[in-house]
Structure 1
Amino acid sequence: MSEISAIWERIEAWHAANDQTENLNPGATAEALAQAEKDMGLTFPPEMRESLLRHDGSVDDSWPTGELLSLERMADERKVWMDLLQDGTFDGNASHNESSEALQPGWWNPAWIPLDADGGGNGAVIDLAPGPQGTVGQVIDMDHEVGPSGPKYVSLAAYLEAMLERLSEAEE
């Protein structure tokens, strides 16, 4: 069993034990994944594809950070950021994170995929174009007021583990 499947089994078990299985969306289809990649002009990392095939996001406000984004919501969130990037809104922030070895400088990167959202313009992002000391697939934090930072998690698997821990802590 893959690491992603093992983590999802534990997340699903938590949801079942807490009568919240309806909060996890069914998996995306392979066709929907391929279309999303084509529309975004990106290739999702294998663990992200596996995760989305299992659960295409969550119901809003049911995830520890607000909402685990579905393919549709990823595209919506990414479009907002891409529109701001393309209209020059972030031009004054081109040197943001300049000293980071893990992130490329700037406020937004076209090779970032929104992962979750808090409803206030902030969320975790999968980084497909890290800095020289970063890793493809690292999860960074995107705050609309202070910009990107991180990496917060080295991988999607580490992110999901942290979310499971937050779910477990919430019930204590």
Structure 2
Amino acid sequence: MADLILRYWQQILKWFKVNQPVFLDALNAGASQKQIEQLEAELGTSLPNDLRAFLLAVSGEKTDNFFHHLCTCGILPFHGDLFSVSEILNQRQYHLEHDIALNNSKDFQKMATVYQAHCPEVKPLNYDPLWIPIGGDPGFNIVFVDLNPTNQGTVGQVFEHCYEIAQRELLASSLTHYLKQYAEGLGKGRFYVEEDNHMLVVYDDHSI
């Protein structure tokens, strides 16, 4: 699994090197083994092999730079930055402090029913401590790797939750599968880059 995800990641990097190399400038170096161990200690469990390999290869990105005429909006197609290991820990702490308390609130129970109907693979919670936030944007669209799915889901599945408009979508059964879909989609023209308000953004043509 670790070898596969790195193969797909290299395919993605190759596409951007040929077509949109500016995106590569925002990528951070990989995490250290010590940082991975710190993350696992905070979670109280081991990371999936593919997520571990991915973080060792790239630990987040910083697209809020002005070294180029156009800024980028994240190399993966969810319109947000990848998080570094330290940002993952900070984001997780934020969700633990602000979101997990809503799980049992009366107001959230109405939303829980909606989430369960539209995304049955993910537990109908506002936040679970075993959801690892791997990327997101300022509008609170957060992408999680889920280590505690329902019996209809898969450990390590990837989903996106938009806290601002209360929507949730399963993206893939694993991070490896998510990058596989993306790498293949770039090659087929499903994913493409366009300028939007002085930013380069990855878009998804669902018709392909």
Provide the TM-score with structure 1 as the length reference: 0.85
Q: What is the identity, as a one-letter code, of the residue corresponding to 2:146?
A: D
Q: Following the alignment from structure 2 to structure 1, what is the Cα–Cα distance between the partners of residues 136 and 15?
A: 21
| Identical aligned residues as a percent | 26
Following superposition, the deviation at residue 160 of structure 1 comes to 2.1
Q: Following the alignment from structure 1 to structure 2, what is the Cα–Cα distance between the partners of residues 74 and 39?
A: 11
Alignment length (residue pairs): 171
Say which one has the larger Rg.
2
Q: Which has the higher contact order (CA 8 A, sep 6+)?
A: 2
Which structure 1 residue ranges, 5 or more long, are not aligned? Answer: none
| Structure number having the greater strand percentage | 2
Deviation sequence 1:9-40 (CA, Å, 0-9, x none) = 11221332233332211111111100111123
Deviation sequence 1:76-109 (CA, Å, 0-9, x none) = 11111110135x3342324613445412121111
Give yes or no for the alignment of 1:22 onto 2:25.
Answer: yes
Matched position secondary structure for 1:47:
helix
Q: Following the alignment from structure 1 to structure 2, what is the Cα–Cα distance between the partners of residues 5 and 76?
A: 26
Deviation sequence 1:47-84 (CA, Å, 0-9, x none) = 00000011111223333422011111111111111101
Aligned residue in 2 for 1:66: 80
Matched position secondary structure for 1:80:
helix
Q: Following the alignment from structure 1 to structure 2, what is the Cα–Cα distance between the partners of residues 49 and 168?
A: 25
Does the C-alpha gap of structure 1 residues 136 and 22 become closer, same or farther in structure 2, counting only changes over 3 Å? same
Following superposition, the deviation at residue 162 of structure 1 comes to 4.4
- 1:1-172 matched pairs, under 5 angstroms: 2-17=3-18, 18-20=20-22, 21-60=24-63, 61-63=73-75, 64=77, 65-86=79-100, 88-90=101-103, 91-92=105-106, 93-94=108-109, 96=112, 97-99=115-117, 101-147=120-166, 149-164=168-183, 165=185, 168-170=191-193
Matched position secondary structure for 1:170:
strand
Q: Following the alignment from structure 2 to structure 1, what is the Cα–Cα distance between the partners of residues 90 and 98?
A: 13
Q: Following the alignment from structure 1 to structure 2, what is the Cα–Cα distance between the partners of residues 32 and 106?
A: 28
Q: Following the alignment from structure 1 to structure 2, what is the Cα–Cα distance between the partners of residues 120 and 150?
A: 16
RMSD value, Cα: 2.5
